[in-house]
């Protein structure tokens, strides 16, 4: 046996299992967790798109049109679609976890979790509506 020391009556030999590099792939719940964490890449992608859009605004209408044509290419459409899925996943998991971090007590009793999560969802929808209204020409 190629172990550090052999077991003797007064020297126990504990077994320490190495955590595999693939620990996150071994159970569905670990995999879901890593997907949630990888939504950070999609958030970065969205931030980069926004920066590119803003930059094109400083460069003139031709740059804006070029950027728009880039975004039309299949590569960007696929990336945006995947990123959109991840960003949605981020939002939903974020709002569902908010009640755990902020327990609200009213009259001595703790409010049920959906009551804390619901205002977040309402704000999400309201803000999204405002953004759509702004961008589609209303003022």
Partner 1 sequence: MAKRSNEPFLWSLFSSGGMIAALMFPVLLFLFGLAFPLGWLEAPSYESLLSLVRYWPVRLVLFGLCSLPLFHGAHRFRFTLYDGLQIKHLNELIAVFCYGSAIAGTVLAAYILWSIP
Partner 2 sequence: MAETITLEVARYRPEQEGEPTFERFDVPLNKDWVVLDALNYIKDKVDGTLSYRWSCRMGVCGSCGMMVNGEPKLTCATFLTHYAPGPIRVEPLRYFPIVRDLVVEITDFMAKLKSVNPWVVREDEKPVSEGEYLQTPAQLDQFKQFSMCINCLCCYAACPVVGLDEHFIGPAAIALAQRYNLDSRDQGKEERMDILSQHEGIWGCTFNGECSKACPKNVDPAGAIQQYKIKAVTEWFKSVLMPWSKGGAK
Q: Which residues bind partner 2 (CB under 8 A)?
A: 1, 3, 7, 12-17, 19, 23-24, 27, 29-30, 33, 37, 97, 100-103, 105, 108
Residue of 60, 124, 58 whose CA lies nearest to 90? 124
Work out whether 122 is an interface residue with partner 1 (CB under 8 A): no
CB under 5 to 8 A by kind: which of partner 1, partner 2, none does 4 bind? none
Q: How far apart are CA 20 and CA 26, in angstroms?
A: 9
Which does residue 111 touch among partner 1, partner 2, none (CB within 5 to 8 A, set by kind)?
A: none
- Out of partner 2, partner 1, none, what residue 106 binds, judged by CB under 5 to 8 A for its kind, is none
CA distance 63 to 104: 49
Q: Which of residues 70-89 bind partner 1 (CB under 8 A)?
A: 71-72, 76-77, 79-81, 83-84, 87-88
Among 71, 77, 117, 109, residue whose Cα is nearest residue 93: 117
Alpha-carbon distance 99 to 120, whole Å? 10
């Amino acid at each position: 046996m190629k172990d550090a020391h052999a077991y003797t009556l007064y020297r126990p030999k504990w077994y320490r299992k190495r955590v595999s590099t693939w620990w996150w792939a071994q159970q569905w719940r670990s995999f879901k967790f890593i997907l949630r964490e990888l939504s950070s890449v999609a958030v970065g992608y969205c931030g980069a798109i926004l920066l590119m859009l803003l930059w094109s605004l400083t460069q003139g209408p031709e740059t804006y049109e070029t950027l728009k044509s880039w975004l039309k290419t299949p590569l960007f459409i696929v990336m945006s679609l995947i990123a959109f899925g991840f960003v949605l996943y981020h939002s939903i998991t974020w709002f569902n976890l908010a009640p755990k971090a902020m327990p609200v007590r009213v009259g001595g009793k703790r409010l049920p979790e959906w009551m804390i999560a619901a205002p977040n969802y309402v704000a999400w929808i309201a803000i999204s509506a405002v953004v759509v209204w702004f961008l589609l020409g209303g003022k």
